[in-house]
Structure 1
């Protein structure tokens, strides 16, 4: 059933790249904006790395690395914007935001108590594993297995 519903909006991403419309603009805005920002940050870091790599080659003109990086940044920013408006991906992000709105978040006191329990458990397990390691090391040294 869900594939039939998703199939009605199944335009390939390549055809969606050349539209400027926003798919379901009032739904899933926060998740879509955060996802788009994340994509833009990854693209910007990649372009910065590309610029640094191209700039290290001395025989290339100083304008080539900057122009290439800025061109890739512009293309990546547009693709990121269009990706979060691609119907299949946008519907997924809308569903994610709807599910996140159903989550019951703990209060500050519950969070502190649960964190203390987790830290105590990790500390207890670390001490236990260290003790087992020391005991087995002593046993193996005593019978002469390790040298």
Structure 2
């Protein structure tokens, strides 16, 4: 994708308040926003934990992480509206819409096959282990402690 001269930069997007193609790619944008906000919240929480242990002033230990979270939230919200990133998210939504997703019936049946296979494999490995332990004890290779 070529960058044209009229496409806004990330800095100008962060400073603006408008939405870019707000009706397109909504699900992917919302999930991306929620994921980035969860990361920003986790970072602010860790910062709060560090400041609580290091600083005696409760206002600073709560205020600085809150400010960091607020600024991060605004940046993340504006990042999702940045035309280059928003166009990418819109195209991701388009590709997700094209995928032929499995039905619930097929998904349950396939999950059952995987679970049964894992149980049978576990049983087979336990049986092999049991046989090898008993065979090793029988020939005296493995000493048992009683």
TM (norm. structure 2) is 0.78
**Cα distance between partner residues in 1 of 2:18 and 2:86:** 13
1:30 aligns with: 27
**Residues 86-111 of structure 1, C-alpha deviations (whole Å, 9 max, x = no match):** 22221221112112212223333222
The answer to whether structure 1 residue 75 and structure 2 residue 71 are counterparts is yes
**Cα distance between partner residues in 2 of 1:123 and 1:34:** 35
Q: Could you tell me how far 1:124 is from its partner in structure 2? A: 2.2
Correspondences of 1:16-27 after superposition (within 5 Å): 16-27=13-24
Question: Is the partner of 1:56 in helix, strand or coil?
Answer: helix
The answer to whether structure 1 residue 89 and structure 2 residue 79 are counterparts is no
**Residues 29-85 of structure 1, C-alpha deviations (whole Å, 9 max, x = no match):** 12101211221122122212211221122x532211111011101111011101111
Give yes or no for contact 2:29–2:80 (8 Å, CA) kept in 1.
yes
2:103 aligns with: 107
Residues 22 and 143 of structure 1: CA distance in aligned 2, closer, same or farther (over 3 Å): farther
2:10 aligns with: 13
RMSD over aligned Cα atoms: 2.7
**Cα distance between partner residues in 1 of 2:11 and 2:143:** 62
In the alignment, structure 2 segments of 5+ residues that lack a partner are none
Number of corresponding residues: 142
**Cα distance between partner residues in 1 of 2:133 and 2:41:** 50
**Cα distance between partner residues in 2 of 1:46 and 1:72:** 9
